[in-house]
Amino acid sequence: MKKLPAPIFITIAGILTLTAAQPVLAEDTEVLSVQTENAADQNQENDLSNADVISCGAPNWRNGIIEDQTFQTQLSEYTGDVWFASYAPADGEKDVIFKIIQNEEPVETLDSLVTPPVLSYGFTKLDAISFVDYNEDGNTDILAIKTFGDIAVPVVYEGTPGSEKNFTLKTGLSVRAAAGAQSMTIAGVLDYLKTVAKEQWTAVDTLPEGTPSNFVFASGVGAWSTMLNLNQDGSFSGSFSDSDVTAGEGYSYTMYCSDFTGKFTEIKKLNDHVYSMQLTDLQLEQESGTQEIIDDCLKVYSEPYGLVPGSEFYLYVPEVQSSELPLQVPEGWSGVEYSSNDPDLLTSYILYNIEGDAPFGGYE
C-alpha cells in the first residue's frame, strides 16, 4: 500500500516557500530531509524536525484541489489562519486556480494570468509558491512560479487590502520578471522584484512632447493591422482590419474589422525615455461578433489585436539603448526600428502592450 506524504513548507529568512511534492513512498519509508528551492540552489538540506509540516482534513472546498499545493498559512490581509488552495484547470481553462479559504468557505479567488505562454500552451505544473512582502509596504504578497508547456513563468500578486481584492494580479510586473530575473526560482525572481520596487515613477498629466500621433501594430508579413491615432492626453481613435480569402454566398472575401475610440490613463514617467499607462477605456463603434456584406465583402466586426482594457502599456522614447529599458521590444514588427550602426539603439517611438507582447510602432 502506498500513500502521498503531506506537503512540506519551510520558512527561511521570513519567506514561506512551497517545495515540490515528494515522490509516492511506501509506508515504511522514512523521509529524513527535504530541500527548499532556495536551499537547493546552495545544495543545502534542512532537517524535517525544523520544518512546518501541514496536513488537513477534507472539507467541501477540497474537492478538485491539487493536494501537494494546498496548505494552511497566515496572510497580513486576513485575520487568523487561512488556506491557500490550488485547483487544477477545469476543461477549457488554461491556468491553475488559486483560492483563499477561511472558516471552510472561499473568500477570494485570485485572477488568472492571461499572457501568450498561457494562451499558447496551458498549465503544466506549479513549481513554487512564496509569501513575502517584496516591496516592503507591510502587506503580504504572493509569488508563484508556474510552467506553461516548458516555459517557466513567475506570477506576482500584490497585497492590496482595502481594494476590490486583497490580492491584485500584477500582469505587467510578472512579464517583466519573466524577462529580467536571473533565474526562474523564488530567490531569483524575488531579487528582481526588489530591484523593480526601487524604481521611482512620477505621475504626469500628458504624454511627452514629440510623441507621434500615429501608431501601428502589424507583423512584417500578413494582411492585418491595428492603427491608432493618439492624442497627447492619452485619448485615441483607431481601426483594425484582418482579411482572408474566405468566400461565400454574396461575397468573395472576408474582412475582420472594427473602428474604435479609447483612453490611456494613469500616465507615469520613469525617465525621459520610459513612460507607463493603463488602457482603461475601449469602445467599439460596431458590436463585436456582428457582420454584414458590403461591396462583395463579408465584414465581421471584431476586437482589435493588441488592445485589451486593463492592460499596461509602456511608451518608449528614442534614442535609447534597449538594454536600459524595463522590457526589451522584439524586432520584426512594423515600426520597431533599431540603428543600423548600433543594433541595441532603439530609434523609433514604441507604444508597447507588455502584457500581450504587442508593440505599436510610432510614425508621422
Residue 38 pLDDT > 70? no
| 41: pLDDT strictly greater than 80 | no
Confidence at 143, pLDDT banded by 50, 70, 90: very high
pLDDT of residue 21: 37
Q: What is the pLDDT of residues 166-200, one digit of tens each?
A: 999 998 899 899 889 999 999 999 999 999 999 99
Percent of the chain with pLDDT over 90: 56
What pLDDT sits at residue 221? 61
Phi-psi region of 74 (alpha: psi -120 to 50; beta: other; left: phi over 0): beta
Q: What is 285-348 written as a DSSP string? A: SS-TT-EEEETTEEEEE-PPTT--TT-EEEEE-SSEEGGGSSSPPPSSBTT--B-SS-TTEE-S
Instruction: Provide the pairing of β-strand 105-109 with 33-34.
Output: unpaired
The span from the CA of 329 to the CA of 177, in Å, is 15
Domain chopping of the chain, boundaries: 2-197, 214-363
138 pLDDT band (50/70/90 cuts)?
A: very high
Q: Which residue has the higher pLDDT, 39 or 32?
A: 39
Please give the residue that has the higher pLDDT: either 94 or 19: 94
Question: In 3-state terms, what secondary structure has residue 61?
Answer: helix
pLDDT of residue 11: 37
CB neighbour list of residue 193: distance below 8 Å, 6 or more residues apart: 134, 135, 143, 156, 173, 177
**pLDDT at position 214:** 95
Per-residue confidence (pLDDT) for residue 335, from 0 to 100: 82
Tell me the pLDDT tens digit for each residue of 71-91: 899 999 999 999 999 998 887
**Residue 33's pLDDT is what?**
26
C-alpha cell at 168: 491584485
CA distances from 120 to 27, 125, 130, 147 (A): 40, 15, 26, 12
What pLDDT is attached to residue 2? Answer: 27
pLDDT of 43: 34
C-alpha R_g of the chain: 24
Give the pLDDT band (50/70/90) at residue 14: very low
pLDDT(66) > 60: yes
Give the span between the Cα atoms of 259 and 82, in whole angstroms: 47
> Per mean pLDDT, which of 15-29, 268-282, 329-343 is the most reliable?
268-282
pLDDT, average across residues 251-280? 95
Which of 21-35, 99-113, 133-147, 183-197 is least confident?
Answer: 21-35
Longest dimension (CA), the chain: 77
| pLDDT tens-place string over residues 153-163 | 999 999 999 88
Confidence of residue 234 (pLDDT cuts 50, 70, 90): very high
221 CB-near residues (< 8 Å, 6+ apart): none
Is the pLDDT reported for residue 298 higher than 90? yes
Per-residue pLDDT, 220: 59
Per DSSP, the three-state class of 178 is helix
Secondary structure (DSSP) of 62-82: GTTB-GGG-EEEE-TTSSSEE
| Per-residue confidence (pLDDT) for residue 10, from 0 to 100 | 36
241 versus 50: which is more confidently predicted? Answer: 241
